Chains A and B, each alone.
Chain A
Amino acid sequence: MRAYELIKETFLRRGYIWMVHAIWLALYGLFWWLFIPDEEEFGRFLFTWSGFFLPLALSAGVFGDDIASGRICVLVTKPFWSGQLYIYRLLGLSLQAAVHLLLAAGLIGILHALMRRGSLEGLGLWLLASWLLFNTCAALSTSLSVVVGRAYNSLVLFVVIATGYVVVNLLTSLLRQHASAGTFMSFIKYPWPPFELLSKFAGGEHEEYGLTVARFGLVKSIGCVLHSLMLTAAYGVIGIILLSRRQFSCMRD
């Protein structure tokens, strides 16, 4: 019952959430219908919108709203471990994303059948990569929401990731010839949401490996999946610690 209510709440907490899902699905449909993309183009579009922008929209203020309204003071006086509050909310977001991606697959499947153009090959891997990326971004955004007020967690995350993307690309081009560049780039790259790794996992590096899952090396594929799951868990643990340690003051003298 508790899990069900907390998961359900992630969908019902704001009136616009169902609209976000509808708009995103409409975007996929429009992109497919207007541009007749190949599988990789569509995969990358789906990956970006459902893996990065969707969690930002769905997790905006996931804890910040409660903190701003004072609702959190009642929630954290209930007799259960505060971590459960975090876990079930993240699970709620993750389940929404899973259903969202299944609906997206269904929609594209219908469009493909009706229009008889484009390719659905590899869509499954893109869906999986999108869901994994969604989870890492949602965990990061949810953890940020414990300390950032209202819905600013999504905005902050967007700005940080966009800036980080530019900085990493600049450093990559600058340090390309340097001996320690690889180690340095790994240090920068791996703790952050795995945009590159998961897009390679879904897009593939053709004919590079003998033993493959779809179009990517088996070990690397497993590594990518595990890496994203571990990142989700790590971001989640940080959020749970923050939530458990944070003091909430809702009353005014």
Chain B
Amino acid sequence: MVLVQPNQESACSEGTRAVVECRQLTKVYKKLLARRTRTVCALREVSLSVHRGQIVGLIGPNGAGKSTLLNLIAGLILPTEGAVTVCGHPARSVRARDGLGYMPEHPAFLGGYSARATLQYHGALLGLSREAIARQVDKSVQQLQMQEFIDRPCCDFSQGMKQRLALATALMNDPQLLLLDEPSNGLDPVGIIQLRDLLKQLRQAGTAIVISSHRLGELEKLTSDYIFMHRGRIITLADQAATGQAGRLRVELVSNGRHVAEALLPASQVLEVSDTELVIAVNDPADVPDIVANLAKGGARITSVLWQKEDIEEVFVRLCQERT
């Protein structure tokens, strides 16, 4: 798992060195000369580490602090307290940026530049040679299907084209850490599948990827490592219910559903009940056979049983409701 408890040392040997390490990060936004009551604490004592070949989904409601965390890792803002290292170097340092690829939520380009000129420009800023830039441009065109618009000016681009170009610029230096903010915005279904395949390839190549996204279904297809954020804090994942194990058991009965529920199940576990159907919350799928056996033993006449694993959207909604 990605979380590091506060004051706990994470592995830092050469083989397992974390690509990103955040220690006790706190970020308070305060306007110049503003009163104390008008300060906003966007992040509170957040500690985490992300390792090579790991894809981490950053999820949470609006204002949870996801973007602040991404900004801090990218070195765009400074923490009020705590420290961030990228590839072992302070986040804002040139050496940290050397291994960083960053794609913002709303990518912007010089309107007069074509996609090719934009990639060449970013390659030059990265300090690549002409040959390396040409190689990377060809690779990006192939990987991100940019053949159709590579020589068109950026001012004519659709959102999907901009997203592809932004991802291509972020990948120009073959980064060790890729920070993506809503990468699938504006992409068509084929584009989303291509993006997913590309990110999986990058993970296999050892790139650490942090994605902030509201498309939870998409994230679920990429990774099982999530950071749930709420009001500037990471919600602890020690709770098994939050780690993707939890689910619901839908039991269909001939009759007497209400009576069976009252007699055999704790009220907190029963989510829905009718005479012919019970929906039971289950934290661990290993408990399902015992629950079914107990129901049968107690006289329930079961016609069918369906196990439904809680998906990431349900976990997200549940955690948000619990926290508010």
Contacts and interface: CB of A to CB of B under 8 A. Distances in A.
For A9, A13, A249, A250, which residue has the most chain B Cβ atoms within 10 angstroms? Answer: A250
A21 to B, nearest CB: 16
B102 A74 contact: yes
B105 A252 contact: yes
Interface string A72-105: 0111111111000000000000000000000000
Interface residues on B, range: 35 or more
Contact of B63 (A12, A73, A78, A253): A253
A12 B110 contact: yes
A76 B67 contact: no
Given A77-B76, A77-B102, A251 B71 contact: yes
A79 B181 contact: no
Nearest to A72: B76
Nearest to B128: A1
A30 to B, nearest CB: 29
Contacts of A81: 94
B127 A79 contact: yes
Contacts of A253: 62-67
A70 B108 contact: yes
A15 interface: yes
Nearest to B181: A251
Contact of A5 (B66, B106, B121): B121
B76 A247 contact: yes
Interface in A2-34: 2, 4-6, 9, 12-13, 15
A69 interface: yes
A248 B181 contact: no
A71 interface: yes
B76 A76 contact: yes
Contacts of A77: 74-76, 97, 100, 102
B97 A78 contact: yes
Nearest to B64: A253
Given A9-B110, A77-B102, A247 B77 contact: yes
B215 interface: no
B136 to A, nearest CB: 13
B234 interface: no
A251 B70 contact: yes
A206 B292 CA distance: 108
Contacts of A252: 67, 105
B62 to A, nearest CB: 5
Given A74-B102, A77-B74, A15 B108 contact: no
Given A70-B108, A74-B102, A80-B94, A5 B124 contact: yes
A1 B94 contact: no
B125 A80 contact: yes
A12 B118 CA distance: 12
Given A1-B130, A9-B110, A253-B66, A78 B71 contact: no
Interface string A239-253: 000000001111111
The 3 closest A-B pairs by CB, nearest first: A251-B67, A69-B108, A5-B124
11 contacts: A1-B127, A2-B124, A73-B102, A75-B125, A76-B76, A78-B97, A78-B126, A79-B97, A80-B125, A250-B105, A251-B70
Interface of A: 1-2, 4-6, 9, 12-13, 15, 69-71, 73-81, 247-253
Given A1-B128, A249-B77, 12 more contacts: A1-B130, A13-B110, A71-B108, A77-B100, A78-B125, A79-B95, A247-B76, A247-B77, A248-B77, A250-B106, A251-B105, A253-B67
